[in-house]
Amino acid sequence: MLYHRRSLLDELTAKGIRLTNQRRLLVEIIQNAEVHLDAATLLELAQQTDPGIDRATIYRTIELLKKHGLIDELDLMHLKGETLLRSQDSPRSRPSGVFRMRPDRRIFQRLFERLKAEISAQTGFEVKVARLELGGRCRYCGAAAKQ
Amino acid sequence: MLYHRRSLLDELTAKGIRLTNQRRLLVEIIQNAEVHLDAATLLELAQQTDPGIDRATIYRTIELLKKHGLIDELDLMHLKGETLLRSQDSPRSRPSGVFRMRPDRRIFQRLFERLKAEISAQTGFEVKVARLELGGRCRYCGAAAKQ
DNA sequence: TTAAATGCAAATCGTTTGCATCTGT
DNA sequence: ACAGATGCAAACGATTTGCATTTAA
């Protein structure tokens, strides 16, 4: 039930970008990540495979992927323009329980599109990018809500 | 056509928080700001009136106001829980063209509420906080779109 | 072969903290 | 009078940069 998207590696090759071992590794990690990654987590994960990899490389690669529009500015996943479910965490804390809405859930998409269209029509604001963040408790959350 | 909200100063007094000149100044700036402020901008604006005011005071005051729920964690305006229209800017750049949706526009509210409700019903995700960000071109934008 | 990518170390940026002094109540 | 707020300077963590070395094409 996965929706199709060309692999980041393919995209890089297509753009004629040099493929180093480090880039291959980082791209693979980002691609397979279940949750959003920050630079520190990405570094940590990468070092499990390549202990020699440097912070600078992490940041430079993130920058590269952003510049080519392959990952989202905010969340390091290739979610550009997609809607997100994000738990409310304190800014510094490790993101936990961050996941995205399945794009094949047409109900949300339709409602969301309608919301955007209505806003455009009523205000003259031409919507180009939209991001919806929802904080709260999911099915699998413990008793206490984070807030 | 402004909707009512108690002034931040009143809220502070009501909570028995000590009013210093610095706090009065900062609160006034935040209250009158047309756009979202970041710490650097707030400092800059404050120093135009009180050149001696220190960064630390800015950060401590922001922290204080956040702790009491008087400003939004993200944008330094007292917009807690309200829907926002925010232009797409690079993270480091000065926020420009940031404004909020008028809460009296029932059309949006109704659609937005319906979206949230639908998500709750379909996924079991209990929505507690929601933020909608839209990037694009408003009526008053120049010819060239930012993104 | 060579332009570009890497690792390393130092620099920089935004934010926070400890402490002596000042101020609101 | 005194708890709490401020300014100052140093500390901190995250990100960036310069440069010598390595690597993909």
Contact assessment for residue A39 and residue A59, using Cβ atoms and an 8 Å cutoff: yes
d(C-alpha A82, C-alpha A131), whole Å: 7
| Residue ranges in chain B modelled with pLDDT below 70 | 1-6, 34-36, 72-105, 107-108, 128-147
pLDDT in tens, A78-119: 443 444 444 333 333 333 445 555 545 666 677 677 777 777
Q: Count Cβ neighbours within 10 Å for each residue of B26-54 and write b for 16 or more, e otherwise.
A: bbbbbeebebbbeeebbbebbeeeeeebe
- Does at least one atom of strand C sit less than 7 Å from the CB of B117? no
User: Do residues A88 and A147 touch, judged by C-beta distance below 8 A?
Assistant: yes
The 10s digit of each residue's pLDDT in B110-120 is 777 777 777 77
In degrees rounded to 5, what are phi and psi of residue A134?
-125, 130
Which residue's CA shows the smallest distance to C1' of C25? B18
pLDDT band at residue A31 using 50, 70 and 90 as cut-offs? confident
**Nearest residue to D16, CA vs C1'?**
A56
Q: Are A8 and A78 in contact (CB under 8 A)?
A: yes
Q: Within 13 Å of residue B143, how many CA atoms lie on the same side as its CB?
A: 0
Å from B11 (CA) to C21 (C1')? 29
A62: which nucleotide lies closest, measuring CA to C1'? D15
What is the distance between the alpha carbons of residues A5 and B81, in angstroms, rounded to a whole number? 34
More confident residue, A39 or A52: A52
Q: How far apart are CA B133 and CA B135, in angstroms?
A: 7
* pLDDT score recorded for residue A60: 97
Q: How far is A86 from chain B (nearest CA, A)?
A: 10
Nearest-angstrom CA–CA distance, B144 and B147: 9
A39 confidence band (pLDDT: 50, 70, 90)? confident
A119 in contact with B, Cβ within 8 Å: yes
**Per-residue flag: B44 CB under 7 A of strand C:** no
Rounded to the nearest angstrom, the minimum Cα separation between B49 and chain A is 31
Q: Which of A92, A109, A134, A141 to mutate to test the interface with B (most CBs of B within 10 A)?
A: A134
Contact check, Cβ <8 Å, B122/A107 = yes
pTM of the complete model: 0.65
The alpha carbon of residue B133 is apart from the nearest alpha carbon of chain A, in Å, by 5
Between CA B62 and C1' C19 the distance (Å) reads: 22
Is B136 in Cβ contact with A126 (below 8 Å)?
yes
